[in-house]
Amino acid sequence: MQRALNVTRERFADWYQAVVRDADMAETSPVRGAMVIKPWGYGVWELLQQELDRRIKATGHENCYFPLFIPLSFIAKEAEHVEGFAKEMAVVTHHRLKNIDGKLVPDPAAKLEEPLVVRPTSETIIGDAFARWVKSHRDLPLLINQWVNVVRWEMRPRLFLRTTEFLWQEGHTAHATIEEAVEETRKMLEVYRSFAEDVLALPVIAGEKPENERFPGAVNTYSIEAMMQDGKALQAGTSHFLGTHFAEAQNIRFQNDSSEMEFCNTTSWGVSTRLIGGVIMTHGDDDGLRLPPAIAPRQIVVVPMLRDKPEDEEVLAYAKSLVEALSSLAAFGYPVRALLDTKKIKSAEKRWNWVRRGAPIIIEIGPRDAAADNITYMRRDDLRDGDKVKSVAISRREFIEEKAVQMLHEIQHGLFCEAKARLDANIKRDVTDWAGVESYFAGSEDEFKGWLRVSWGKPFGAALDAVETRLKALKLTIRNAPLDQPETLAPCIFSGAPGAEEILIGRSY
RNA sequence: CGGAGCGUAGCGCAGCCUGGUAGCGCAUCUGGUUUGGGACCAGAGGGUCGCGUGUUCGAAUCACGCCGCUCCGACCA
């Protein structure tokens, strides 16, 4: 059977790389671990960014920009924070190069008095500003967000999922009370959940991270977890309640309405270009990427079937008017993004390029379509009937007036439902003891396993370390404790003690 | 940084064991034939075989060193 890719999802890691490449999303760069995001991939990011930014602003946050460089001493202020990031920090030590013996090297005379780190995250540099901005309870809450690049020197990079430099959004807020800060943390988690599900068609489970998986310096960390087509979990977004840890380290204080000085409670939350990796691994198939229409840079692509003959002109004119009509429609609150592909390559080649890129609807227009006032379309979410590509002819008028927008919404919803069904079907709840966990995850790692939802006693300290070690031996981690917890709990799967909450266990990226 | 594998034309690969100066498929270019849709015929262009050193009359092939990539570990949005 001829597919648009030369590798299938059976070899998931190879398949992922093939999709990223063949869908023109991104490529590796001369800098190890740093990627070039190509127009089609960046277009997805821009749409994702546009819609999430709207939602972040709708919840009262404002955008800012803070420096790329952070004085090393700032990072050192919060003990757990340094420890968490020390091993992956890029450090700037000089500000000039010098030609020594024909070689350009950092000029020893231009050594910085204090090294600067390239931000791995901005709690400390933003906290420094917060300390100056917050004086009174009347300055609170302080609700700030920024869209920037950050650098974390990762050992093993993977395009979109884990790159040395990545793009993200980081929100930072300061509040007068614990309750308010916790509410903010949960509110933004919910913004992420609904955004992932409604816009990216990525079903997720929102929950709280166990102690050992917390953000360095956080009191509580919450995450949304998505299941990829190989059954592994992808942490798709995090929201942290930082308590007064950073406020104490950086002296972020305010005078309350009784004139007493108090430390602020702060939060931070972020999602990154990793989400794009999640979209690829959730929706892609053996013909390439399938993009949810809400984030497809081109939702409907019209490919004219040209033959270097006189009737080409009619076909082009017809296709052009079709694209104009489609562009005047609206879907998901924005104008429909339609494209007439006039690139000078073979039409068949164009079709397969758009299939691989995951354009939701691909329309082919030939002379007979033009003459009969018809269009012929393919839906990327329902491409094939067996081995054959499904190609449907319909009147142009019906398509524009009734079907086009409806179909985009159907595709968006369909992709979500397909992924949601997979997520739900692959969370096993009937494992009740450790032996059951071991036997379930025994065997080949390549085998699709999904997650277990089990009860545990929520241990801490040495007992938690022991749990972590047992899980690690099976390459498992605790993903999170879902927000929706049952009334009664089974005994702890690790110790048999009374259960404290249910958690998700699985392999992860 | 540890273990495994790989680096040959834009992409995918063969050749390496048993050294003799590079080949296949797809893509590209030209001409022609086709045309409801991943076409066919003929011809052409494109590679200092990852880099360096050594062995040799001669190295893609053998040896040593380095670099890079992929997978597995430690790290992680």
Transcribe A121-187 into DSSP letters.
--HHHHHHHHHHH--BGGG-SEEEEEEEEEE---SS-BTTTB-SEEEEEEEEEEESSHHHHHHHHHH
Q: Straight-line distance from CA A279 to C1' B24, in Å?
A: 37
**What is d(CA A150, CA A502) in angstroms, rounded to the nearest whole number?**
34
Supply the pLDDT for residue A78. Answer: 84
Residue A312: CATH number of its domain? 3.40.50.800
Measuring from the CA of residue A270 to each C1' atom, give the nucleotide at the shortest distance.
Answer: B77
A450 plus A343 within the same structural domain: no
Give the residue with greater pLDDT, A97 vs A333.
Answer: A333
Q: How far is the CA of A321 from the C1' of B30 (A)?
A: 35
Nucleotide nearest to A161 (CA to C1'): B77
Q: How high is the pLDDT of residue A447?
A: 80
Look at residue A25 and tell me if it is in a domain. Answer: yes
Q: Is the pLDDT of residue A444 over 80?
A: no
A55 contacts A121 by C-beta, under 8 angstroms: no
Structural domain tally of chain A?
3
CA–CA separation, A37 vs A92, rounded Å?
Answer: 25
Task: Assess whether A215 and A101 both reside in one domain.
Answer: yes
Report the percentage of chain A scoring pLDDT > 70.
Answer: 100
Q: What is the pLDDT of residues A148-203, one digit of tens each?
A: 999 998 888 889 999 989 999 999 999 999 999 999 999 999 999 999 999 999 99
Instruction: List the A103 CA – B57 C1' distance (angstroms).
Output: 39
Antiparallel, parallel or unpaired: β A111-118 and A91-94: antiparallel
Q: Say which nucleotide is closest to residue A344, CA to C1' distance.
A: B28
Please tell me whether residues A350 and A468 are part of one structural domain: no
The answer to whether residues A234 and A344 belong to one domain is: no
Question: What is residue A463's predicted lDDT score, i.e. its pLDDT?
Answer: 92
How long a stretch of residues is chain A?
509
Dihedral angle computed from the Cα positions of residues A209, A164, A147 and A72, in that order, rounded to the nearest 10 degrees: 90
Q: Which residue is nearest to nucleotide B36 (CA to C1')?
A: A366
Q: What is the mean pLDDT of residues A367-376?
A: 94
Distance of CA A449 to the CA centre of its chain: 22
Distance between CA A27 and CA A35 in Å, rounded? 6
Query: Nearest residue to B28, CA vs C1'?
Result: A345
A103-106 and A35-37 strand pairing = unpaired
Reference A146, options A233, A254, A61; nearest CA is A61
Based on the fold, state whether residues A120 and A215 are members of the same structural domain. yes
CA distance A415 to A381: 7
Distance in Å from B30's C1' to A349's CA comes to 20
pLDDT in tens, A36-94: 899 999 999 999 999 999 999 999 999 999 999 999 999 888 888 888 888 888 889 99
- Among protein residues, the one whose C-alpha sits closest to the C1' atom of B39 is A348
Q: Clarify whether residues A198 and A257 are in a common domain.
A: yes
Which nucleotide is at minimal CA–C1' distance from A272? B77
B70 C1': nearest CA residue: A14
Same domain for A255 and A383, yes or no, is no
The amino acid at A458: K
Q: Residue A225 belongs to a domain with what CATH number?
A: 3.30.930.10
- Rg of the Cα trace of chain A? 26
- Same domain (yes/no): A363, A447: no
Q: How far is the CA of A352 from the C1' of B30 (A)?
A: 26
Query: Can you tell me which residue has the tokens 């404790």?
Result: A481
Helix, strand, coil % (nearest 5) of chain A?
A: 40, 30, 35
| Mean pLDDT value of segment A373-381 | 96
Q: Single out the residue in A343, A378, A407 at which a domain terminates.
A: A407
Residue finishing a domain among A253, A283, A313: A283
Q: Is the pLDDT of residue A304 over 90?
A: yes
Report CA(A14)–C1'(B70) in Å, whole number.
Answer: 9
Mean pLDDT across the stretch A352-356?
92
Query: What is the model's pLDDT at position A231?
Result: 92
Strand B positions closer than 7 A to protein CB? 1, 12, 28, 34-39, 68-77
Q: What is the per-residue pLDDT for A448?
A: 86
Span A389-417, average pLDDT: 96
User: Do residues A499 and A470 both lie within one domain?
Assistant: yes
pLDDT at A443 over 80: no
Lowest mean pLDDT among A11-20, A336-345, A365-374: A11-20
Question: Which of A153-157, A371-375, A378-382 shows the lowest per-residue confidence on average (mean pLDDT)?
Answer: A153-157
Q: Is the dihedral of CA A194, A200, A206, A212 positive or negative?
A: negative
Domain boundary among A374, A407, A440: A407
Listed ranges A101-105, A160-164, A302-306, A357-361; the one with the highest mean pLDDT: A357-361
Q: Is the dihedral of CA A79, A81, A84, A86 positive or negative?
A: negative
| Closest nt to residue A155, judged CA to C1' | B75
ipTM above 0.95, yes or no: no
pLDDT for the residue numbered A311: 81
The CA distance from A374 to A395, in Å, is 4
Percent of chain A with pLDDT over 90: 75
Q: Is A94 exposed, middle or buried (0-12, 13-18, 19+ CB in 10 A)?
A: middle
What is the residue range of A117's domain? Answer: 12-283
Determine the nucleotide nearest to A315 by Cα–C1' distance. Answer: B36
| A309 and A276 housed in the same domain | no
Q: How high is the pLDDT of residue A334?
A: 96
The answer to the question of residue A271 being in a domain is: yes
Nearest nt to the CA of A367 via C1' is: B36
Are A255 and A312 within one domain? no
- Domain assignment present for residue A192? The answer is yes
Structure confidence at residue A328 (pLDDT): 97
pLDDT at site A451: 95
Could you tell me if A195 and A63 lie in one domain? yes
Q: What is the pLDDT of residues A191-242, one digit of tens each?
A: 999 999 999 999 999 999 999 999 989 999 999 999 999 999 999 999 999 9
Q: B64 C1' – A390 CA distance, angstroms?
A: 58
